[in-house]
């Protein structure tokens, strides 16, 4: 990705200094390589979004210009009404007291741009250069994770079997962690690295979950777990 291609991913309605774009070009290249993470960068001095990666572009589609022009007002308009006020206030408080390295983690439901509900984990990380303050926004669609989390918390009727409240959950805490990571598309090797376990142990957890849910493969595992929401 060259400098010209990077500039093609920037907000066309706001003029940015080439020096700033060049300074963060390596970061932008890394953002474009991400397959799953949704990334956008907000330039606080301009009160405008500077950049969004290809994943967010694909989600926004023809609504991309609304994000460029309306900024946070447009993004917040898609959040559930019961969550939008507290989300707006937390973001506002973050920007009132800015220092390098400060971060904020948000969780909320929103309508995606096909008007379907999705659960979002949203981290905002502040980074200061000599002249500018950038808010990096990392977003992850965790809708599958939330469905499986609810499934794992059910105390009865799990997979058609009534479970006594006195009995331990059929799925251990570690298995719940593995199941959520599987739902987010991580391989056994990636799960092993994230949970600091061996690859063999991660594979064993996956096999045990398939046996406990009485399914044939990973795809059926996710489908059966989500079916009890």
pTM: 0.64
Selection from 142, 141, 143, 179 nearest residue 158 by Cα? 179
Judged by average pLDDT, the poorest of 60-64, 132-136, 201-205 is 60-64
* 38 touches 54 (CB < 8 A): no
pLDDT tens digits for range 116-146? 788 899 999 999 888 899 999 999 888 887 7
Q: Token pair of 44, please? A: 């606080």
Give dist(CA 52, CA 98) in Å, integer: 22
């Amino acid at each position: 990705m060259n400098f010209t291609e990077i500039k093609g991913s920037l907000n066309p309605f706001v003029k940015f200094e080439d020096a700033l774009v060049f300074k963060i070009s390596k970061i932008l290249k890394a953002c474009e390589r991400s397959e799953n993470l949704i990334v956008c960068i907000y330039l606080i001095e301009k009160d405008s979004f500077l950049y969004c990666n290809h994943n967010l572009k694909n989600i926004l589609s023809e609504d991309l210009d609304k994000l460029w022009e309306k900024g946070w007002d447009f993004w917040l308009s898609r959040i559930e009404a019961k969550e939008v006020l507290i989300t707006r206030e937390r973001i506002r408080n973050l920007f009132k007291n800015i220092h390098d390295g400060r971060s904020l983690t948000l969780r909320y439901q929103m309508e995606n741009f096909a008007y379907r509900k999705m659960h979002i984990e949203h981290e905002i990380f502040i980074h200061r250069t000599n002249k500018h303050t950038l808010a990096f926004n990392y977003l992850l669609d965790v809708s599958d994770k939330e469905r499986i989390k609810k499934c794992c918390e059910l105390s009865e009727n799990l997979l058609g079997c009534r479970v006594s409240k006195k009995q331990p959950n059929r799925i251990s805490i570690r298995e719940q962690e593995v199941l959520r990571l599987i739902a987010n598309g991580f391989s056994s090797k990636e799960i092993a690295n994230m949970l600091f376990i061996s690859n063999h142990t991660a594979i064993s957890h996956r096999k045990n979950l398939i046996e406990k849910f009485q399914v044939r493969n990973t795809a059926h595992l996710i489908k059966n777990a989500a079916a009890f929401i």
